[in-house]
Amino acid sequence: NSQLNGSYNFENYIEGDCNRLARSAGYAVATKPGTTSFNPLMVYGGVGLGKTHLVHAIGNHIKSTWPEKFVLYVSSEKFVNQFIESLKTNTVQDFANFYLLVDILIIDDVQFLSGKEKTQEMFFHIFNHLHQSGKQIVMTSDCAPPKLKGLEERLLSRFKWGLTADLQSPDFETRMAIIQKKMQADGIDIPNNVIEYLAYSVDTNVRELEGVLISLIAQSSLNRKEIDLELAKNALKHIIEDVETEVNLDFIQKTVAEYFDVTLDSLKAKTRKKEIVTARQVAMYFAKEFTSHSLKSIGYHFGGRDHSTVIHSVQTVSDLIDTDKKFKASIQELQKKFKVKTG
C-alpha cells in the first residue's frame, strides 16, 4: 500500500508563476524517477500552498507508469511514530528493512523531524542507502532547508544534493484558474463575477480558498439558491475569521467617506471631482497601509481601478503629508480610528 491519495494529480494541479519550478521539477522526477539530478527533490513553502498535493501527484504518476515500483508516501509524523513504536517493540531492524525496500520515498513535512535525533539518524541511514541505489527521494518542508532548525547538519547537506524548489502564494490569475477548475470538477456552475470576487478576496493560500468554496457550495444547496455574489460574500464571512479583527476595506471606505463628507458610492465611481478624488486617494492610502489587500485587490474594490492608480494615489497622499501641514493633521486624526481598530 503506497498511501497515495489518488485524487491529487498533475492534471488538477494548476500551474502558475507561484509553483512553476516546483511543478516542472516534480514532473521531471515523476517521468524519470531516480535518474534526474533532482534527487532528492525538496519542495518547501507555507501552509496550504500545495506541497502535499504536488508530491502525491508525483507518486501517482510514477505508480501509473510503473505499477511494479514500490512508491511510498509517508508523513514525517507517521515516520517518527512508526520509529518510536519499533523502538518499543524491538523491531527497529524491521522498520529499517521496510524502508530500504522502497523505490520512491516521499516524505512530507520533514520539519517535523526537528529535534528528534534518533529518528534523524535512522532517516539519514535510509536516505543514504536509497540514494546510493538510485532510488528517488522526494521531501517537503514548511521552510527553506537552511532555516530548518533542529535538523542535523549532515542531513541538511544531503538535501542540497538535489533540487530545492519553493512554492509561493498563488497570484490572482492562478487563483481564478484554481476556482474554475475545482468548480468544474464538482460540476457546479459559478458566475464569473463570483470567481473574480473570491480570487480577489482570498489571497492567502489555496486551502483557505477551498474552504470558502466548500462553504459556498454548502450554502447554495442549503438555501436552494444559485451561487451569486451575495452568497459568496456570506460564505467569506463565515470562513475568514480575521475579517472582523483586521481593519477591513469597507470600514476604511466608510470612515474616509464620512470624514470628507462624500458618499461611499462616489469613492467607487468614475467621478473626477476634486474633493472626491482626494477622499478616494486617502482611502486607498489607508487600505494599503492597514489591510493585507494587494494593490490589485485595492483597485478592484475602488470601482475596478488599475493597480497603477493605487500606486499613484498612495504616492500622492504621501507627498501631500510631507508638504501640507493641515493635510497631515487630518490624516493623523483619521489614522487613529484605524489604529484603535487594529489594537
DSSP state of 271: -
- Bond before 145 cis per omega within 30 degrees: no
Question: How far is residue 33's CA from residue 126's CA, in Å, rounded to a whole number?
Answer: 17
Q: Minimum distance from CB of 340 to ligand ADP (Å)?
A: 35
Give 111-179 as a DSSP string: GGGTT-HHHHHHHHHHHHHHHHTT-EEEEEESS-GGG-TTS-HHHHHHHTTSEEEE-----HHHHHHHH
Q: Residues 199 to 228: which contact ligand ADP by CB under 6 A?
A: 206-207, 210
Convert residues 43-72 into a mask of x (bound to Mg ion by CB under 5 A) and - (unbound): --------xx--------------------
Residues 111-150 as x/- pattern, contact with ligand ADP by CB under 6 A: ----------------------------------------
Nearer to Mg ion, 25 or 107 (CB): 107
Joined together, the cell numbers standing for residue 63 give 505508480
Q: What residue is closest to ligand ADP based on CB?
A: 50
Phi, psi of 106 (to 5 degrees): -110, 115
- Cα gap 237→259, rounded to integer Å: 26
| Residue 45 assigned as binding residue | no
User: Among residues 126, 118, 74, which one has the least CA distance to residue 100?
Assistant: 126
Burial letters for 136-154: b for 16+ Cβ neighbours within 10 Å, e otherwise? bbbbbbbeebeebeebbee
At closest approach, how far in Å is the CB of 339 from ligand ADP?
33
- CA pair distance 312, 305, nearest whole angstrom: 11
Site for ligand ADP in 53-72 (CB under 6 A): 53
Q: Indicate whether 141 belongs to the interface with Mg ion (CB under 5 A).
A: no
Residue 162 contacts residue 70 (beta carbons within 8 Å): no
- What strands lie across the sheet with 136-141, from one edge to the other? 71-75, 104-108, 136-141, 41-44, 163-166
Cβ at position 50, least distance to ligand ADP in Å: 3
Q: Considering the rule CB under 6 A, would residue 13 count as an interface residue with ligand ADP? A: yes
Q: Give the range of 9-17, 25-33, 152-160, 326-334 binding ligand ADP by CB under 6 A.
A: 9-17
Task: Choose, by CB under 6 A, the member of 2, 39, 52, 60 that binds ligand ADP.
Answer: 52
Instruction: Report, in Å, the least distance between residue 48 CB and Mg ion.
Output: 8
52 known member of a binding site: yes
Instruction: Choose between 151 and 202: whose C-beta lies nearer to ligand ADP.
Output: 202
Shorter beta-carbon distance to ligand ADP: residue 11 or 333: 11
Specify the residue for cell string 489614522.
335
User: Considering beta carbons, is residue 159 or 260 the nearer one to ligand ADP?
Assistant: 159
Of 23 and 51, which has the nearer Cβ to Mg ion? 51
Say if residue 51 carries a ligand binding annotation: yes
Instruction: Tally DSSP H helices, then E strands, for the chain.
Output: 17, 5
Report in angstroms how near the CB of residue 194 gets to ligand ADP at its nearest.
18
Q: Verify binding: residue 49, ligand ADP, rule CB under 6 A.
A: yes
Cβ closer to ligand ADP: 75 or 294?
A: 75
Which position has the grid cell 470624514? Answer: 259
**Binding-site residue ranges for ATP:** 48, 50-52
Q: Which residues bind Mg ion (CB under 5 A)?
A: 51-52
